[in-house]
Chain A
Amino acid sequence: MSVEYQVRPVVQLHWASWDDDYVVFDETSGQTHQLDAVRAYVLDLLIEAPRLIPYLAGALSQSTSVPASEAAELIEVVINDFQTIGLVEAIAS
């Protein structure tokens, strides 16, 4: 059984961005978050559909300069942060 991650259904996101500078606002919680390019990219992928960690790591290393060897670990950190702030949850698939 593998674990997928998704943006929690109760969350309603709005974005603002300037160059590689991102801000995302969750209307439900009223929280505003500043995101770097990597976090913004990962969140965007999760908004599209629930994802597995290997998928996110692969997508990250293909479209950015992050090496494949580090991508998985970076994704885990990012997912953990998103879970802590209540934007993302794990679902068994």
Chain B
Amino acid sequence: MILSELAVASVKQQLRSDGLKLQIGPFTYRLISAIDAITEGLVKLYSDYPLAPANSFIDYPITISRGSGLHRWTRRQAIFEFDGKAVFIPLPESHAFPLLEWSMNWCVSMHAHHYLILHSAVIEREGCAVIMPAPPGSGKSTLCAGLVHRGWRLLSDELALISLTDASITPFGRPISLKNQSIDIIRDFVPGSVFSRVVHDTSKGSVALLKVPSEHLLRIHETAKPRWIIFPKYVAGSAPQLTPRSRANSMLELGRNSFNYMVLGRTGFEVLTRVVDASECFDFQYSQLEDAVKVFDDLVSQRQA
């Protein structure tokens, strides 16, 4: 059963009682919140995700609560609670839905050490995955959002889950987080795109979440093998440029952009070595999404077996 098959009143009721239980890729979440923006965001962007069956084991129970005391009524807040404890400082209630997204990422990146978790976007085509690590502001999410609407399957826009046994990548596709001008760029690039309500004045500027194409969710259990590691960089007005990059250097950079590389010790080193072994590494500079689409298409069509 998927979320859209539940009446909104039912969704709301579950969120306010025992929790709405969603299956997202390999993880099951129990979501609890009395905040309306949460109901609204889930109904709009998570309509195609399956509900977890009744007696499922829940990996991560998440509560987005309102503040206590005076904050319940004035200057309302949203607080992420895990194991009964607030994890971040309270945010304004209007930020509740982006907070939920960040919370879901936090749970996985802090606890799921049965994967090597890289902070990167990852997309797939014809069985080949591109890992795109990038610090904030590099345009990775915009690039990811554009490509997944031009023939690439979304595996994740934030967390690449690398299997410790065979270095394959497990999909964990969720709504793509976009900021500021990217929101308008993607609205133009993808006619009919569905966004959550834009939230302004977050620490990252204006933020909105883009719904994942439902076909991608049908394949959410299909893993992929790493084939390219591409470090994107948006440079206004530039022509597209793909430059080979040292594998050793790429490996170090991936390790720095990993949530749990240090935790995994030798296993982390061995798995990351396998990922880099299997991949060609590039820097990619661009300014136009259409240019990027072509470059990525060429990579796939011109690849050697």
A contact set with B: CB distance below 8 Å: 14, 16-18, 21-23, 25, 27, 30, 32, 34-35
Contacts and interface: CB of A to CB of B under 8 A. Distances in A.
Contacts of B261: 32
| A-side interface mostly | strand
A23 B252 contact: yes
Contact residues on B (Cβ < 8 Å of other chain), bracket: 10 to 19
Among A17, A27, A30, max chain B CB count under 10 A is at A30
B246 interface: yes
Contacts of B248: 16-18, 21-23, 34-35
A14 B247 contact: no
B273 A23 contact: yes
Interface string B242-257: 0000111101100100
A13 to B, nearest CB: 10
20 contacts: A14-B270, A16-B248, A16-B276, A16-B277, A18-B247, A18-B248, A18-B277, A23-B248, A23-B273, A25-B266, A25-B269, A27-B265, A30-B262, A32-B252, A32-B255, A32-B269, A34-B248, A34-B251, A34-B252, A35-B248
A14 B264 CA distance: 14
Given A21-B248, A32-B269, 15 more contacts: A14-B266, A14-B270, A16-B248, A16-B251, A16-B277, A18-B247, A21-B247, A23-B252, A23-B273, A27-B266, A30-B265, A32-B252, A32-B255, A34-B248, A34-B249
A19 to B, nearest CB: 8
Contact of B249 (A14, A16, A21): A21
A25 B251 CA distance: 11
Contacts, number: 39
Contacts of B252: 23, 32, 34
Contacts of B265: 27, 30
Nearest to B262: A30
Contacts of A30: 262, 265
B227 to A, nearest CB: 16
A22 B255 CA distance: 15
A74 to B, nearest CB: 20
Contacts of A32: 251-252, 255, 261, 269
B269 A21 contact: no
Contacts of A21: 246-249
A23 B270 CA distance: 11
Among A14, A25, A27, max chain B CB count under 10 A is at A25
Nearest to B281: A18
B228 to A, nearest CB: 15
Contacts of B255: 32
Nearest to A23: B248
Contacts of A17: 248
Contacts of A23: 248, 251-252, 273
A34 to B, nearest CB: 5
A23 B277 CA distance: 12
Nearest to B255: A32
Nearest to A22: B248
A39 to B, nearest CB: 11
Contact of B273 (A16, A34, A35): A16
Given A23-B252, A32-B252, A34-B252, A14 B246 contact: no
A27 to B, nearest CB: 5
Nearest to A25: B269
Interface in B272-288: 273, 276-277
Contacts of B277: 16, 18
